[in-house]
């Protein structure tokens, strides 16, 4: 008996839990004849068992064992920006690695929302009113009036697709903007910023900004980029928002600055430790959760349905390109 013939289109293994709720939408967007398999991403054996006939793997993780099982792989597509967990060295020669974004709108929304929440003191007021205390200048004589976004300056540490998209939102409130980047190639005038510089200008940005938005990736150069000395240069009322990677801001120094109210507050969506598995685990060795001036979120700023609908569209479009023999968009690497 002859073995079952291969499908007319590519065989796709989807091992990303974020796409599972969009299975019907994703499969409808695949090329004609494509076959999709959906092993449980939490079960390495199930994923490996699905890979021998796969042309395409959709996953932000591809271990050496997965690569060894997927000897036919020609495209590995992350369902997000991160590809650091894809072992490109273990993939078959000629394999293309691609990624996708579309989280910038949702992260920009998070940045503005957390800046307002912290800058206006809403976290503190919410906690107080639950105790029956009306914590506002209207009821507490001598209490300071908070500033609206339109009266402040937002400092962008990194001005890529996240920073630029967030600036559009902040600018709509009438805020001013300044930015520093690694290359220093941001055109301040074209972007409507007061000024833009390199990381050599970080100290000036920290002194200037009422809101500091950190969105740079984690590299050797950016680890600890904002340290105790940098935090000491910030205004006592300033809010720091980190949507890049936790260690870009020194963990010990940040906790101390927040504990001692050396800065106004922080919205922390990226952390220093993550659960090895499951959904429980402390995000830091310090008790940030005890501090009243911290908004803590579990790396969720970009996680909206709209983000993953657009990512699913991107990935399906790239699989169409792959099936047609065309070069996919957002190629990160081609294995040699």
Question: Minimal CA–CA distance to 261: which of 245, 243, 237?
Answer: 237
Same domain, 312 and 286: no
pLDDT in tens, 170-219: 999 999 999 999 999 999 999 999 999 999 999 999 999 999 999 999 99
Same domain, 74 and 183: no
Q: What is the mean pLDDT of residues 227-243?
A: 98
Q: What is the mean pLDDT of residues 212-228?
A: 96
Same domain, 110 and 196: yes
- Total domains in the fold of the chain: 2
Same domain, 197 and 93: no
pLDDT band at 6 (very low <50, low <70, confident <90, very high): low
Return the structure tokens found at 257: 């600055």
Is residue 253 in a domain?
Answer: yes
Same domain, 45 and 69: yes
Bridge-based pairing of strands 265-268 and 331-334 is: unpaired
Same domain, 97 and 127: no
Helix-, strand-, coil-residue percentages of the chain, each rounded to 5: 35, 15, 50
Is residue 26 in a domain?
Answer: yes
Is residue 86 in a domain?
Answer: yes
CATH code at position 323: 3.40.50.720
pTM, to two decimals: 0.90
Same domain, 250 and 126: yes
Whether residue 115 contacts residue 152, with contact meaning beta carbons closer than 8 Å, is answered with: no
Confidence at residue 82, expressed as pLDDT on a 0 to 100 scale: 87
Radius of gyration from C-alpha coordinates of the chain: 23
Other Cβ atoms less than 10 A from the Cβ of 157: the count is 28
Torsion sign (Cα): 14, 16, 22, 23: positive
Q: What is the mean pLDDT of residues 308-332?
A: 97
41 CB-side CA count, 13 A: 17
Confidence at residue 2, expressed as pLDDT on a 0 to 100 scale: 43
198 — phi, psi (to 5°)? -100, 180
Residues of the domain holding 289: 104-296
Same domain, 125 and 270: yes
Residue 5 pLDDT more than 60?
A: no
Same domain, 196 and 326: no
Is residue 6 in a domain?
Answer: no
Element (H, E) at 96: strand 96-98
pLDDT in tens, 248-268: 999 999 999 999 999 999 999
Is residue 4 in a domain?
Answer: no
């Amino acid at each position: 008996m002859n073995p079952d013939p291969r499908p007319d289109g590519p065989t796709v293994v989807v091992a990303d839990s974020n796409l599972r709720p969009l299975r019907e939408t994703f499969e409808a967007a695949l090329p004609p004849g494509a076959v999709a398999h959906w092993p449980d991403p939490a079960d390495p054996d199930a994923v490996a068992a699905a890979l021998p006939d796969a042309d395409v793997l959709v996953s932000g993780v591809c271990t050496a064992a997965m690569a060894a099982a997927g000897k036919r792989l020609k495209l590995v597509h992350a369902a997000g920006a991160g590809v650091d967990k894809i072992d490109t060295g273990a993939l078959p020669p000629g394999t293309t690695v691609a990624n996708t974004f579309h989280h910038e709108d949702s992260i920009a929304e998070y940045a503005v929302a957390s800046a307002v929440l912290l800058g206006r003191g809403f976290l503190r007021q919410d906690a107080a009113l639950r105790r029956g205390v009306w914590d506002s200048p209207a009821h507490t004589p001598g209490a300071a009036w908070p500033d609206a976004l339109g009266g402040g300056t937002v400092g962008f540490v990194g001005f890529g697709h996240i920073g630029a998209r967030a600036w559009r939102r902040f600018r709509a409130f009438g805020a001013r903007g300044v930015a520093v980047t690694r290359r220093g190639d941001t055109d301040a005038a074209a972007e409507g910023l007061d000024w833009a510089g390199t990381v050599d200008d970080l100290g000036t940005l920290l002194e200037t900004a009422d809101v500091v938005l950190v969105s740079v990736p984690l590299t050797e150069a950016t680890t600890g980029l904002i340290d105790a000395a940098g935090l000491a240069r910030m205004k006592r009322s300033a809010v720091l928002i980190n949507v890049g990677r936790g260690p870009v801001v020194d963990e010990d120094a940040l906790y101390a600055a927040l504990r001692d109210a050396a800065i106004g507050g922080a919205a922390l969506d990226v952390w220093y430790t993550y659960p090895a598995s499951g959904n429980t685990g402390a995000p830091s060795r310090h008790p940030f959760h005890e501090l009243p001036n911290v908004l803590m979120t579990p790396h969720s700023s970009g996680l909206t349905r709209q983000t993953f609908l657009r990512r699913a569209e991107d990935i399906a479009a790239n699989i169409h390109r792959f099936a047609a023999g065309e070069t996919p968009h957002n190629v990160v690497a081609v294995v040699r």
